[in-house]
Structure 1
């Protein structure tokens, strides 16, 4: 198994992406610590992991509260003995954020993702980095989306927020690499089976005056394989990147856009 004897915190584990990553990590042998704001959603993911023979712990944590993030990281370290992987999959509802032209977008709606996503990733990565550097090993993972590096209309502050998270990941990799800590950002596209992407696609479809399914088809056509990535595909790559088999990989943006971005 790729992650046997690893201890992993997954922030936003009650969501579609975080939940799938948590289940995949657990299936690969990791003990997973599920963190997020909605206890019921976290418990639902934990129950599935335990039913499959995995080990999952649950904690309600607000990733924008630095004291709560630090206290939880301490609790994981005390309970498990090490913190080997940190994955931040937290997100915001996108209504009033995406789907509106810049010239019509209220400043507060533009600011919200920019002030939220980078801060959330900074606080969780800082907590992990401090503890991983002390133990001399660890992997910090972040996740963004293809508009961070493409020219996409109606994204509001999301594309700048994702670009900031990618820049943060590179800076962290540079600082933490000498202490044995790797930092990698997963850049995804698609995942239309998730409720958030359904919300996003609906917002964009409404703005263009087309159906939601027509917009999804338009997005799939922008990929090289004419097929959008799935949550399971994203989770599988995240597990590999978090494993020792990817030991030479850090300071990188893992391109999971299906060719929407051609590196």
Structure 2
């Protein structure tokens, strides 16, 4: 007689679309969603990259499909989601994990930052997140069920130097998250933001810390140590920690959570 309990999958029979699925955050959460039983629809602008992620998911027994989608293009996003729903029957979770290169945007004093470089992250993030959320909600609201998710780092809340318009763009995302919930939660659609520290496992954060280290005259390792020291744990958030939280918050077990930011900063921010 088998006395082992059958594993409960938090996202079994859920359909999840991940935007920016080829990046470190997008691919990590996509793997986490698939591991918990979801069918993941991976999107990005580089098909080879997201195909590689899909193969990794399939190799471990998960279900994944890929498509080239620019999250800033409403027509493309809408057409892709229509196709997903036509084939799968629903869209249960939309996770937007797109990112932009920090080169030319961070590590530069505001007095020396070109206006277009200041505005780029603000307009890019606001546009892409509004489009993907709006497109997803159009399918979720009639079913009275769904979750819109996004991710920000701690400068969305903290006053940090040399981040240019990035902090403003991230703060706009968190404001959008609250607005989405205010309109859609009554229709069964939750909006959740996950806020972390920079994660040293990601290539982008190494670039960011390098830019900041050069700007203030320290090494990249010293910059990482300084960032880690700001936390209560004296270490930065990991991709595994972000993924675990994303899986739980996307599940029905977090049904009372909406319009909020899940604080994964390890004490850099306490609220």
**2:3 maps to what in 1?**
none
Determine the structure 1 residue equivalent to 2:89: 81
> What is aligned with 1:203?
211
Give 3-state SS (helix, strand or coil) of 1:207's partner: helix
Q: Give the equivalent residue in structure 1 for 2:232.
A: 224
Alignment of 1:88-237 (within 5 A): 88-237=96-245
Unaligned runs of 5+ in 1: none
* Structure 2 residue matching 1:14: 3-state secondary structure: coil
Corresponding residue number in structure 2 for 1:35: 43
Matched, 1:18 2:35: no
TM-score (norm 2): 0.96
* Structure 1 stretches of at least 4 aligned residues deviating more than 2 Å after TM superposition: none
TM-score, structure 1 length as denominator?
Answer: 0.99
Secondary structure of the residue aligned to 2:148 is strand
Q: Who wins on radius of gyration, i.e. which is larger?
A: 2
How far residue 190 of structure 1 moved from its aligned partner, in angstroms, is: 2.2
Uncovered stretches (5+) of structure 2, i.e. residues with no partner:
1-8
CA distance in 1, matches of 2:119, 2:198: 24
Answer yes or no: is 1:53 the counterpart of 2:58. Answer: no
Q: What corresponds to 1:69 in structure 2?
A: 77
Following the alignment from structure 2 to structure 1, what is the Cα–Cα distance between the partners of residues 126 and 268? 24
Once residues 61 and 148 of structure 2 are traced to their aligned partners in structure 1, the CA distance between those partners, rounded to angstroms, is: 25
From 252, 255, 259, the equivalent of 1:251 is: 259
Alignment coverage as a number of residue pairs: 263
- In the aligned structure 2, how far is the partner of 1:236 from the partner of 1:262? 20
Q: Deviation at 1:193? A: 1.1
Deviations for 1:30-50, whole angstroms, at most 9, x for unmatched residues? 000001101111011000000
What SS class does the counterpart of residue 216 from structure 1 fall into? helix
**Deviation of 1:132 (Å):** 0.3
Q: Distance between the aligned counterparts of 1:11 and 1:51, measured in 2?
A: 21
Q: Residue 91 of structure 1: SS of its match in structure 2?
A: coil
CA RMSD of aligned residues (A): 0.6
